[in-house]
């Protein structure tokens, strides 16, 4: 027992020292409970130079929030923390059990939870940015283009708080699931492509059936409408926050066209936007932090 206590003290000391070296403290937070599970996020707080503003980093790829993403987020140095931001790494429910609308609902809850507790976290509730990569970028855009409706009749005070953000910056996000890569005059879902990309379960939209007491598949037309409803390109409006994009022109998984299409809509709505094209960049590349520094400048400009 004595040796166990010594080991625990040593481990705790090493952990504290590691956080000191990284320049921030980290705290895991439960922001919701769902189907008997806890939905969590990791808060990184700069030890020095805090600017009182927040960045939400959506930890998600292929519409999956995996533990390894949280591990990587909470142990690597953050350029946002170094710039003075409090950063929240948010996990949401994942395919194949949950579909994209479920994940959007979770992320809205996370934004509301952070805003509701802003004073406790020493951040300004009116200066919250969001960022993500690929599907994490898509979910970020669904928040950025969302309306400002709240559940005013809810018994949970968190539900009565806005889920809006004030700026967004994303890497190579899907934005239009109907016109994917090129215009699609047939307005159909490419199921074969979804299976090939290993994301079909994220689009397996179902509804509860009171007769069978099970979740059942929706008719094709309703599934098609839901595919439109989770495409942020369809929800751009003049009150959206400024959005920055970084996208590789050799991305074979999420075509550059996906960023270009929504940027055209943002510009038409007079929303500040910018695109950096990574020449030769595929769906991810080494030393991406070089380009990501542009996101810091973007948040500095629009979260001032």
**Of the candidates 145, 72, 69, 59, the residue with the CA atom closest to the CA atom of residue 106:** 59
Residue 260 near residue 291, CB atoms below 8 Å? no
Element of type H or E holding 87: strand 86-90
Res 9: pLDDT: 38
Sign of the CA dihedral with 62 first, then 88, 229, and 243 last:
negative
pLDDT at 257: 97
Residue 103 has pLDDT above 50, yes or no: yes
Cα–Cα distance measured from residue 106 to residue 90, given in angstroms and rounded to the nearest whole number: 9
pLDDT of residue 92: 98
Please give the pLDDT value at position 22: 66
Tens of pLDDT along 156-199?
999 999 999 999 999 999 999 999 998 888 888 888 888 888 89
**Long-range pairs for 223-228: beta carbons < 8 A, 24 or more residues apart:** 223/189, 224/178, 224/187, 224/188, 224/189, 226/101, 227/177, 227/178, 227/189, 227/203, 228/177, 228/178
The encoded tokens of residue 292 equal 């990501």
212-224 average pLDDT score? 92
Number of H helices, E strands in the chain: 9, 10
Q: Is 275 exposed, middle or buried (0-12, 13-18, 19+ CB in 10 A)?
A: middle
Arithmetic mean of pLDDT over the chain: 91
Question: Which residue do the tokens 């590349």 mark?
Answer: 285
Gap between the Cα atoms of 140 and 138, Å rounded = 5
Angle at 303 between CA 103 and CA 172, to 5 degrees: 45
**C-alpha dihedral sign at 167, 172, 177, 180:** positive
pLDDT digits (tens, 9 = 90+) for 255-296: 999 999 999 999 999 999 999 999 999 999 999 989 999 999
> What's the pLDDT score for residue 21?
59
Phi, psi of 30 (to 5 degrees): -90, 115
Q: Which residues contact 149 (CB under 8 A, 6 or more apart)?
A: none
| Contacting residues for 8 by C-beta, under 8 A, at least 6 apart | none
Task: Tell whether the model's pLDDT for residue 47 goes beyond 70.
Answer: yes
Strand partners, 45: 25
Decide if pLDDT at 145 tops 50: yes
């Amino acid at each position: 027992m004595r040796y166990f206590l010594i080991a625990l003290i040593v481990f705790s000391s090493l952990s504290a020292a590691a956080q000191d070296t990284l320049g921030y403290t980290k705290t895991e937070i439960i922001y919701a409970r769902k189907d008997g599970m806890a939905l969590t996020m990791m808060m990184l707080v700069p030890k020095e130079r805090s600017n009182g503003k927040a960045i939400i980093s959506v930890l998600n790829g292929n519409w999956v929030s995996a533990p390894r993403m949280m591990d990587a987020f909470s142990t690597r140095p953050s350029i946002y923390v170094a710039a003075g931001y409090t950063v929240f790494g948010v996990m949401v429910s994942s395919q194949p059990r949950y579909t994209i609308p479920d994940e959007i609902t979770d992320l809205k809850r996370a934004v509301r939870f952070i805003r509701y507790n802003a004073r406790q976290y020493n951040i300004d509730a009116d200066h919250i940015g969001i960022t993500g990569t690929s599907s994490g970028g898509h979910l970020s855009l669904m928040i950025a283009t969302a309306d400002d409706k709240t559940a005013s009749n809810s018994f949970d005070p968190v539900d009565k708080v806005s889920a809006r953000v004030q700026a967004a910056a994303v890497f190579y996000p899907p934005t239009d699931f109907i016109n994917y890569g090129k215009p699609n005059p047939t307005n159909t879902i490419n199921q074969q492509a979804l299976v090939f990309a290993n994301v079909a379960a994220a689009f397996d939209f179902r509804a509860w059936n009171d007769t069978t007491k099970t979740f059942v598949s929706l008719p094709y037309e309703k599934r098609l409408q839901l595919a439109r409803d989770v495409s942020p390109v369809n929800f751009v409006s003049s009150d959206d926050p400024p959005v920055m994009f970084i996208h590789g022109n050799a991305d074979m998984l999420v075509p550059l066209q996906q960023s270009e299409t929504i940027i055209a809509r943002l510009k038409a709505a007079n929303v500040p936007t910018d695109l950096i094209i990574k020449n030769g960049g595929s769906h991810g590349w080494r030393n991406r932090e070089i380009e990501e520094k542009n996101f810091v400048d973007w948040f500095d400009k629009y979260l001032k």
